[in-house]
Amino acid sequence: MLLQAKEPLRKMLSAATGYYGGLVQSYSLSAYGLRHSLSTSMKASRHFIPCKARSLSQFSCGGSSADQEIVIAMGSNVGDRVSTFDRALQMMKSSGVNITRHACLYETAPAYVTDQPRFLNSAIRGTTRLGPYELLKKLKEIEKDIGRTGGIRYGPRPIDLDILLYGNSQIHSETLIVPHERIHERPFVLAPLVDLLGTSCDDGIETSWHSFSKCSGGFFELWNKLGGESIIGTQGIKRVLPVGNHLLNWCERTLIMGILNLTPDSFSDGGKFQQVEAAISQVKLLISQGADIIDIGAQSTRPFAKRLSPKEEFERLIPILDEITKIPEIEGKLLSVDTFYAEVAAEAVKRGVHMINDVSGGQLDPGILKVAAELGVPYVIMHMRGDPSTMQSEKNLQYGDVCKEVASELYTQVREAELSGIPLWRIVLDPGIGFSKKSGDNIEVIAGLESIRREMGKMSIGASHVPILLGPSRKSFLREICDRANPVDLDAATVVAVTIGILNGANIVRVHNAGYCADAAKVCDALHKRRRWEN
């Protein structure tokens, strides 16, 4: 039986490798056999053996006796599409759907009827005790409440909610077909669906789902047949990050986040920008140098820094933030607040900030997760063990495989954020350069961003695709390598670190000197475009 399991498993992993465009490396089959028991291998083989579907007669219009894993597709091309998705998520939760995972957000060209606005598409994975027909009824009610009317088939609509998968069931009736009959031909459905899967072969329900694809490589193979990752970023389908009034295509070019520290004790420029005039001047300089985002922080997070109260941080931040939002140069730029306090984040967003950058990823003030979910803004989750006063302790500096452990710990935080109501399409990941890491660890992380994405993909394909923010600017590991005492003298070294990071998959770089790093990013982006063209 173990030998019989190997060939389907090989096909599955091969398909996953192709899906990632080479990002996921094939596992050694012999190593896999050593790591897994016979029972696990037998379980893996069932990915590609059609399972016995639950019969239609087992379902009524009433509820299910047990939680069922489900996948629901979402689409919208009329009105405020992002707000519509937010409303649909809340209404699904209120209707008996426990949302556990979100796919990325995709802007896609219309299919079938092409003379209409572009769509936003995504999907959610969750559990419900609603029976399939009861679930269908609830989804139709949500569509109607949001404003969907009859219209033409495949035509414009404010919301479209489809049951893609329901437990391990296959249903075929006049009113409901599960799995959805057109999954195989729709990139805008398959891309979000694949996001909700992992490359691990140990998930029982995913075993059933892959078998429904009728492909030996499961849904990964179906996605590859439609073009897979090679079509992402084309006019047909793009991953986007909703921020402010924009849908940001973070893969189109690297974004530059300029740092504004309003603290007296930051390691690089503490005390320089505590006065309004100096802060405004620095913001204007960063924007003139090419900054797309201004990240404003009023609390130092250097090693062993004393923690301010929310009130103290608020008093330092708000007067300067209010003035920054008034300057003409800020028009069209994004503002980020660097805080781990829920109440500071809420007030900053109220006053015009577009995103929250939390160095603790919700660990220092768990209330910030709920606030970020309610505010509907992008949320940066950074990797750090402990807090700034303990992050460089001997215990927090212990790693076996730093990239693997950073990925695993970040994913734990992603799960907490999603379960708190922050969709994956609003999450940005930061591996935390200089936080809970020795010099060598920082180098490994910068060079190993693709490895971090691969590890993420084993747990959630979607999580492996979210934007990565990298912040190596003037950090102490560069000072140790270059033997320079003045942080300003580390700008050249920062450019090198940023360049390596971008070439390995960073999408946003957080820097003090935006000019040098913006130029480096342009060169890296040009190299990326050449590689895509060659492929």
* Residues assigned a catalytic role: 475, 510
Q: What count of other Cβ atoms lies within 10 Å of the Cβ of residue 319?
A: 13
How far is it, in rounded angstroms, from Cα 104 to Cα 223?
15
| Rounded alpha-carbon distances, angstroms, from residue 382 to 92, 255, 345, 363, 429 | 29, 17, 16, 10, 6
How far is it, in rounded angstroms, from Cα 214 to Cα 236?
25
How far is it, in rounded angstroms, from Cα 342 to Cα 516?
33
**Four-point Cα dihedral 226, 232, 234, 239, nearest 10:** 130
Beta strands 97-102 and 119-128 are antiparallel
Reduced to 3 states, what is the DSSP secondary structure of residue 196?
coil
Question: Which of 124, 202, 116 has its CA nearest to residue 156?
Answer: 116
How far is it, in rounded angstroms, from Cα 9 to Cα 510?
41
| Rounded alpha-carbon distances, angstroms, from residue 340 to 30, 368, 463, 499 | 45, 7, 22, 28
How far is it, in rounded angstroms, from Cα 255 to Cα 261?
19
Contact 334, 354 (CB under 8 A): yes
Contacting residues for 455 by C-beta, under 8 A, at least 6 apart: 403, 404, 407, 408
What token pair was written down for 105? 């957000």
Contacting residues for 358 by C-beta, under 8 A, at least 6 apart: 339, 340, 345, 368, 372, 379, 380, 381, 382
What token pair was written down for 31? 């190593």
- Coarse DSSP helix, strand, coil percentages of the chain, rounded to the nearest 5 percent: 45, 15, 40
Q: With left for phi above 0 and alpha for psi between -120 and 50, is residue 290 left, alpha or beta?
A: left
Reduced to 3 states, what is the DSSP secondary structure of residue 198?
coil
Q: What b/e sequence results for 461-494 when a residue is b if at least 16 CB atoms lie within 10 Å of its CB, and e otherwise?
A: bbbbbbbbbbbbbbbbbbbeeeeeeebeebbebb
What token pair was written down for 452? 């971090």
What token pair was written down for 152? 């033409």
Label residue 65 exposed, middle or buried (CB < 10 Å: 0-12, 13-18, 19+): exposed
